[in-house]
Amino acid sequence: MRAGQGVVILSVMLLMLGVVMVNSAGLSVSSEPLTLKQMILSRPALLAVLAIGAMWVGSRFPLRFLQVKIAGLPIVFWVIPVALLLLLAVYVPGIGKRVNAANRWLDFGGFAFQPSEVAKWSMIAAIAWWGSEYSKNMASFKKGLLPAVLVVGFICGVIAAEDLGTAVLIFITACILLFAAGCKTIHFISLFPFGIAALVGAIMASSYRIDRLKAFIDPYDDPGGVGYHILQSLTAISSGGLTGLGLGHGVHKFGYLPEDTTDFIFSIICEELGAAGAGAVLCLYAGLLVLSFSVIRNCKDSFLRLLVLGIATTIGLQASINILVVTSLAPTKGIALPLLSNGGTGWLLTAFCVGLINAVDRASFANTTTSVEQWQPSHA
Amino acid sequence: MNKQPAMQSRILWVMTLVCGIVFLALCAGFYRVISLKIDTPIELISVATPTNSTIPQIATRGSLLDRRGRILAGSRVGYKLFVDPSLVDDSEELAFELGEKLRLPPADIERKILERADSKYVVIDDLLEQWQVDLIRDSSYKCVGLEPRLVRSYPHGNSVASLVGLVGTEHSGLAGLEHSLNNSLGGTSGTLVRLRDIRKQTLWVDPKNYKPKNNGDDVHLTIDVVIQEIATKHLQAAVLHCNAGGGRVVVLDPKTGDILAMTDILNPRENWTQEVSDPLREIDPRLGRNRCLTDPYEPGSTFKPFIWAAATELGKVSVNEVLPTPSGNPYLTSSGRTIRDAHYYGPSTWRKVLIKSLNSGMAIVAERLTNAEMQKAITGFGFGSPTYLGLAGETRGLITSKKNWTSYTQASVAMGQEIGVTAVQMAQGFCAFARDGSLPQLRLIATSKNAAPIVRQAITPEIAKTTRTIMGEVMTEGTGKNSQSDLYTLFGKSGTAQLPKADGSGYFEDRYTASFIAGAPLDNPTVVVICVIDDPDRKIAHYGGEVAGPVVRDIIDDTLEYLGVPPTKLQVANEH
């Protein structure tokens, strides 16, 4: 079995667990009994089916298409302005949707998604193209690093206004990709003060971010206020002991723990499935990363390598940050657990990108066995 | 092109770094999960929002019911109103709102909250009315709560007060039957632990966390509230009419031994010495002692039938034997004691001695009995032993000890003096005449519909019937004339005993205990009633036949009518 197939299998397992846990966490008390139809046709189940479809599409995706040039620049470049337009569209009355006091959503007649999700994956493809296309310039600060950092910084600045967590995640992933593409360490270090200043500025600019920081430093200071969310998460994790309360038997999902189906689903997994469930989730992510590493090793193309690195890093970092947040090892960020937390576009796009990892692996496998190079982009 | 392999290896190196960082973060997260699960920090436990709540399952106390199932004492769940001052933002506003809503003084509410502002529980009202409870339930105060509590109500008030007694704040019996039947009436409360969501809606209840309540048992008494009220009404009227210090009545069914009514009234009078007193009753009528079985009194002539029957049965005298009772002067006993009669009829038959209540006749026959025979006769009718009714404080009465028993005692006891009995002892002893000479076990608790067991056979059925017949003549020719009923043929005996002084220095010359005991109908006795009037005002009336007799008659008339017993006298008249 190829590593790419392994990545897909692990992702499907995460999706399946996600469907079960999102349904469990979404349980509510009702006088009407749940029908079989309602259970089978639940929103998470349908989305998971769509996500698996997206994963299949990703696996079969003609990778050459990513570098098809329009007006002298490849498609992966053009997704940047599109993403930027979408990011700005959240402020347009009528299509922008305000949720939890933040403009993070676009709503096109019932089809709602977060443009930051689109930007997240677009940036990976664009930086991977930049890193591979101008690999010779990467050692140069002016020609290699600066243009990319400026674009990424601008996009992240736009996202940070509404969603600092995702902006930080995109920025870190982009930096890792640029570093992998050959940027000099000294250049990176010289950028650190700007990055930290931007982060501190973004935090100071918003009172709720300061509260989250306070809650992280001492949640017991205001257990009913800013510390409530994280304390509920810790209580949920600690309850049920090592074996857990059993699937569906958790209590904190009944209003005690906010965001229980999305960002804080890991706490519900710990409560219901115990240490075994938590360990399994962590192993699935770790396995996904190890297999992605294997895909990168087998791949000979720099763009595709950087692309897989970007996707794997995003999934790995997102999972790490989420788990550190819910266990109060990091301050609260609005970052979901990839493929597990309830999400629409999040699931579809992540699944599609996981499919791309498989597509890269398929291509590498086909390349080494049949020496067919027709898929390879011209620069290689 | 040589740049390519360098970049390839750099990507792998970076991927290794990313994997390392992510693994480290995941391991840190996992370690944190395990440590939280194994050793939950105490501060986390202390701030955790409770996900379950314990609901007390209050067990209700059993009801005390009369013989027809009417409630004499019953429990219901009521609610007290409390406030959690720690959740109150503005006590003045809350007090005003609550006061307006529940029609309670706002100033009181605010004072109560402010007095204990640092506590979490302040009771505002001990017992709300149902409309107030409904209003609070419909409101959305977070700081106001309702706490269930048991409420005991006594729908028949003072007429059964001393018998039923009362419960304390913890709902356990303090006095009367509430006290003596506490074990049966009292229930065991349970608890129900429910898991709830954040909006406090119940999610589920673990069967392991449910301890069901055990309601107390209802107890059926032999008392009939209607008869109790009849007895109370007539006794009350008589006590007030003759300005007596108090009065007692016991009504019982001689066939079963069931006490149908038992009432005890006190009438404190100003400027009277040696008044009957009951300090507890002044605090609460339900706390008072039940004098029908706690306070002995001298029965006087009402005691004569017992000695009369015993002497006749022993063959010491025959019914129609003429005794040398005096014609004008008091009788002198062999020991030289002077015995006075109210009227002097000259030599009279043993039958007439009872009908006319001749002390001399009783003294003559008493001298024919040995001390032991007299003592055995007394104890045979149950005197000197408690009736074991099951109420606290029952006395066995006062009987002179064998050692101190003299010929003086012998004559006194035959006239109902120098002996202390209770009203229930008298009623029980009198049942021997209303039945076949046997004494039934008296009962207050209706354990079964069957007749109560027999304590002992006091006299033979023949003697019982003879005595009863002659007591029927007491009502027509003797001291019971004034108490004759127009409806039923009664048999009974009056008694007027001098009131002994509390310091033991003899008797008051002008103060008495007037009593009357009777049963009816003569041919098929269904009810026995005794009435004792304590210390009636001599200026108004003081003879048992005058003061207590009409009470007994009225109670018998009303009771038999209520029980559906056809009037025997009208029957006779109709037959003719």
Reading chain B (576 residues) residue by residue, the pLDDT tens digits are 455 667 778 899 999 999 999 999 999 999 999 999 999 888 888 888 888 888 888 888 999 999 999 999 998 888 999 999 888 888 888 899 899 988 999 999 999 988 888 888 899 998 899 999 999 988 888 889 898 888 888 888 877 888 888 888 778 888 888 998 999 998 888 999 988 888 778 888 888 888 999 999 999 999 999 999 999 999 999 999 999 999 999 999 999 999 999 999 999 888 888 888 888 888 888 888 899 999 999 999 999 999 999 999 999 999 999 999 998 888 988 888 899 988 899 999 999 999 999 999 999 999 999 999 999 999 999 999 999 888 888 999 999 999 999 988 999 999 999 999 999 999 999 999 999 999 999 999 887 666 678 888 999 999 999 999 999 999 998 888 889 999 999 999 999 999 988 888 888 988 999 999 999 999 999 999 999 999 999 999 889 999 999 999 999 999 999 999 999 886 555 655
Give yes or no for A304 touching B (CB within 8 A).
no
CA gap B163, A173 in Å, rounded:
89
Give yes or no for A317 touching B (CB within 8 A).
yes
Strands (E), B24-115: 52-57, 64-65, 71-83
Cβ–Cβ below 8 Å for B18 and A235: no
Give yes or no for A278 touching B (CB within 8 A).
yes
3-class DSSP assignment, residue B22: helix
Chain A residues closer than 8 Å to B194 by CB: none
Residue A54 has pLDDT above 90, yes or no: yes
Chain A residues closer than 8 Å to B4 by CB: 135, 302
> Chain A to chain B, count of Cβ pairs less than 8 Å apart?
143
Chain A residues closer than 8 Å to B28 by CB: 324, 327, 329
CA gap B460, B344 in Å, rounded:
31
Tokens 């673990």 label which residue? B206
Cβ–Cβ below 8 Å for A282 and B30: yes
Chain B residues closer than 8 Å to A272 by CB: none
Give yes or no for A245 touching B (CB within 8 A).
no
Is residue B299 within 8 A of residue B426, CB to CB? The reply is yes
| Assigned fold of B52-220 | Penicillin-binding protein 2a (Domain 2) (3.90.1310)
Our CA-based measurement puts residue A174 at a distance from the nearest CA of chain B, in whole angstroms, of: 12
Predicted local confidence at residue A369, as pLDDT: 62
Our CA-based measurement puts residue A305 at a distance from the nearest CA of chain B, in whole angstroms, of: 7
Our CA-based measurement puts residue A95 at a distance from the nearest CA of chain B, in whole angstroms, of: 34
Cβ–Cβ below 8 Å for A234 and B33: no
Distances (CA, A) of B299 to A242, B243, B246, B387: 82, 20, 15, 17
3-class DSSP assignment, residue B149: strand
Predicted local confidence at residue A97, as pLDDT: 79
ipTM given for this complex = 0.93
Predicted local confidence at residue B8, as pLDDT: 78
For every residue of A274-312, DSSP letters joined together read HHHHHHHHHHHHHHHHHHHHHHHHH---HHHHHHHHHHH
Cβ–Cβ below 8 Å for A29 and B203: yes
Give yes or no for A5 touching B (CB within 8 A).
no
A121: burial class by Cβ within 10 Å (0-12, 13-18, 19+)? buried
First-to-last alpha carbon distance for chain B, in angstroms, is 147
Paired tokens of A322: 């989420």
Our CA-based measurement puts residue B140 at a distance from the nearest CA of chain A, in whole angstroms, of: 19
Predicted local confidence at residue A378, as pLDDT: 45
Region of residue B504 (phi > 0: left; psi between -120 and 50: alpha; otherwise: beta): left
What's the one-letter identity of residue B574?
Answer: N
B11: nearest CA partner in chain A: A180
pLDDT tens string A64-109: 888 888 888 888 888 889 999 998 888 888 888 777 777 788 888 7
Domain boundaries along the sequence of chain B: 52-220, 291-575
* Of B457, B422, B464, B462, the residue nearest B438 (C-alpha): B457
Predicted local confidence at residue B574, as pLDDT: 60
| Minimum-distance CB partner of B197 among A181, A232, A255 | A255
3-class DSSP assignment, residue A221: helix
B138: burial class by Cβ within 10 Å (0-12, 13-18, 19+)? exposed
Cβ–Cβ below 8 Å for B49 and A232: yes
Chain B residues closer than 8 Å to A274 by CB: 37
Give yes or no for A313 touching B (CB within 8 A).
yes
For B125, phi then psi, to 5°, come to -145, 130
Our CA-based measurement puts residue B201 at a distance from the nearest CA of chain A, in whole angstroms, of: 9
> Which residues touch B485 (CB under 8 Å, ≥6 apart)?
B520, B553, B556, B557, B569
Mean per-residue pLDDT for A202-224?
Answer: 84
A296: nearest CA partner in chain B: B12
| Assigned fold of B291-575 | Beta-lactamase (3.40.710)
For A252, phi then psi, to 5°, come to -70, -15
| Minimum-distance CB partner of A242 among B19, B26, B37 | B37
B40: nearest CA partner in chain A: A238
What's the one-letter identity of residue B11?
Answer: I
Give yes or no for A297 touching B (CB within 8 A).
yes
Cβ–Cβ below 8 Å for A309 and B15: yes
Residue A375 has pLDDT above 50, yes or no: no
**HSE toward the beta carbon, residue A200, CA cutoff 13 A:** 6
Domain boundaries along the sequence of chain A: 3-22+40-366
CA gap A128, A310 in Å, rounded:
8
The model carries a pTM of 0.69
Cβ–Cβ below 8 Å for B30 and A238: no
Look up residue B2 and give its DSSP letter. Answer: T
Mean per-residue pLDDT for A301-315?
Answer: 94
* Of A178, A213, A207, the residue nearest A195 (C-alpha): A178
CA gap B532, B414 in Å, rounded:
19
The chain B residues in contact with chain A (CB within 8 A) are: 3-4, 6-8, 10-16, 18-19, 21-23, 25-30, 32-34, 36-38, 40, 43-44, 47-49, 51, 195-199, 201, 203
Predicted local confidence at residue B389, as pLDDT: 87
Residue A200 has pLDDT above 70, yes or no: yes
Which of B19, B27, B37, B206 would best serve as a mutation to test chain A binding (most A beta carbons within 10 A)?
Answer: B37
* Of B518, B566, B478, the residue nearest B252 (C-alpha): B518
Chain B neighbours among A 250-269 (CB < 8 Å)?
251-252, 254-256
Our CA-based measurement puts residue B50 at a distance from the nearest CA of chain A, in whole angstroms, of: 10
Cβ–Cβ below 8 Å for A327 and B36: yes
Cβ–Cβ below 8 Å for B18 and A316: yes
Predicted local confidence at residue A373, as pLDDT: 45
